């Protein structure tokens, strides 16, 4: 029997959504707004997201990020955050991976990087909101930055 889920109130939460597919960005934004999130900001790349996150006045309770993107994939971004590469981004930033990929290497790397949640595409309101509730119920105790830096992150096929 699983533990009861403590429902997180979304009304005060700000989410950064990262996906290189603008159609997916629009769908996820609509889902989050319908679910009652206070703020949703979109980025079409991990590099673009880092620029948004560099603004110390913009803080997010959660990042929902696609895995399969060019230049820097979602796991690479999570690895940089967990290993403390960006001092302005909290290492324990809540991070949910959104992906069409179910390869074992991708899932294993995400778990090693202490991803807070994992949602398979096609994303639905139910799958995304449940993943966010679970993520806020299960915040991992972080390992040393070096442990995250050593994780082998697969590049997409």
Domain boundaries, the chain: 14-149
Average pLDDT, the chain: 91
Instruction: Say yes or no to pLDDT of 16 above 70.
Output: yes
Residues 6+ apart with CB under 8 A from 2: none
* pLDDT for the residue 2: 53
Q: In the CATH hierarchy, which fold is given to the domain comprising 14-149? A: Rossmann fold (3.40.50)
Instruction: Say yes or no to pLDDT of 102 above 80.
Output: no
CA dihedral over 131, 136, 138, 141, signed as positive or negative: positive
**Residues 39 and 14 sit within 8 Å (Cβ to Cβ):** yes
Instruction: Say yes or no to pLDDT of 3 above 60.
Output: no
Higher pLDDT, residue 100 or 111: 111
* pLDDT for the residue 119: 94
Q: Is this model's pTM higher than 0.75 or not? A: yes
At 81, the pLDDT band (50, 70, 90 cuts) reads very high
Mean pLDDT calculated for residue range 118-133: 93
């Amino acid at each position: 029997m699983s533990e009861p889920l403590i429902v997180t109130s979304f009304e005060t939460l700000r989410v950064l959504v990262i996906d290189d597919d603008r159609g997916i960005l629009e769908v996820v934004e609509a889902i989050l707004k319908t679910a009652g999130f206070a703020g949703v900001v979109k980025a079409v790349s991990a590099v673009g997201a880092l620029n948004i996150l560099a603004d110390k006045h913009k803080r997010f309770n959660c990042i929902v990020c696609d895995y399969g993107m060019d230049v820097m994939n979602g796991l690479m971004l999570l690895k940089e955050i967990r290993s403390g590469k960006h001092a302005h981004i909290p290492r324990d930033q809540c991070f949910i991976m959104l992906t069409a990929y179910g390869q074992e290497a991708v899932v294993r790397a995400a778990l090693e990087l202490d991803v807070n949640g994992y949602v398979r595409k096609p994303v639905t309101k139910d799958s995304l909101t449940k993943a966010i509730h679970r993520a806020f119920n299960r915040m991992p105790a972080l390992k040393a930055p070096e442990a995250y830096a050593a994780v082998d992150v697969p590049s997409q096929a």
